[in-house]
Structure 1
Amino acid sequence: MGREGNMTGFHLHLPHLHHGKKNEALYKDIPKGCFAVLVGQGEEQQRFVVPIIYLSHPLFMQLLKEAEDEYGFDQKGTITIPCHVAEFRYVQGLIDKEKQQPHHVGCFRA
């Protein structure tokens, strides 16, 4: 994926993937292959750093759809997901648990 992704009309800007000293300072705590999202609204809002592979997961894509419905297509800067932090943690747990399970391709015997 390049510097921007486009999933069913949702424009995802990942400014921390751009190079330069200003952006390096702003996003130095984000490991390579990850991006930051803001979750919640008001005082409940928290920042999460998640792997880029979340972008291909249907549960995370649903959260992005909710963000699109709430804020429109073209969010600038860090993506804000309007769900409650507890709901996001639950979805994050499901995605992480799924990714830890080995994929069974099948056993064949001659």
Structure 2
Amino acid sequence: MEKKPKVKKGWLAVEVGLEDDEQGFQRFLIPISHLYHPLFQQLLDKAHEVYDYHTRGPLKLPCSVHDFLNIKRRVEKDSNHHHHHLPPTLAFQFHPC
């Protein structure tokens, strides 16, 4: 079994993927501050719908790795500009699980 690196303070391990995806879940480390961004809030709401937050180990996020990386890029871009209020037209749509 592969040993996972220890997560630094202020960071969170997440597993990203869809149940029916042949790639399975991929592990990422994100700053905890990302969780306060509206796009991550949407993703957390979706995780609650799918998993009810009762997962063992890292937080599971039900979206494709491609979608997650797009969200992560947008959050990082917004963080650099200190702007967390996105117009509704920019809301991210998740693919169904």
Determine if the TM-score, normalized by the shorter chain, exceeds 0.5. Answer: yes
Offset, 1:52: 0.6
Deviation at 1:27, TM superposition (A): 4.7
Structure 2: runs of 5 or more not aligned: 84-97
Is the strand fraction higher in 1 or 2?
1
What is residue 11 of structure 1 aligned with on the other side? none
Q: Counterpart of 2:77 in structure 1: which amino acid?
A: K
Within the candidate set 38, 52, 76, 2:56 is matched to 76
CA deviations over 1:53-82 (Å, ceiling 9, x no partner) = 012111101111111111113333211111
| Residue of structure 2 in register with 1:94 after alignment | 74
Give the letter for the 2:69 counterpart: R
Higher RCO (C-alpha 8 Å, min separation 6): 2
Cα deviation 1:31-69 (Å, max 9, x = unaligned): 221010000035242101000101211110111111111
2:12 to 10, 35, 38: 35
Instruction: Choose 71-80 or 87-96, whichever is displaced more.
Output: 71-80
TM-score (norm 1): 0.62
- What SS does the corresponding residue of 2:28 show, helix, strand or coil? strand
Number of the residue aligned with 1:108: none
Contact 1:37–1:78 (CA<8 Å) still a contact in 2?
yes
* Residue 26 of structure 1, CA deviation: 5.1
> What is the identity percentage for the equivalent residue pairs of Structure 1 and Structure 2?
37
Secondary structure, counterpart of 1:80 in structure 2? strand
- The count of residues paired between Structure 1 and Structure 2 equals 78
Larger radius of gyration: 1
Structure 1 alignment gaps of length 5 or more: 1-24, 104-110
In structure 2, the partner of 1:54 is 34
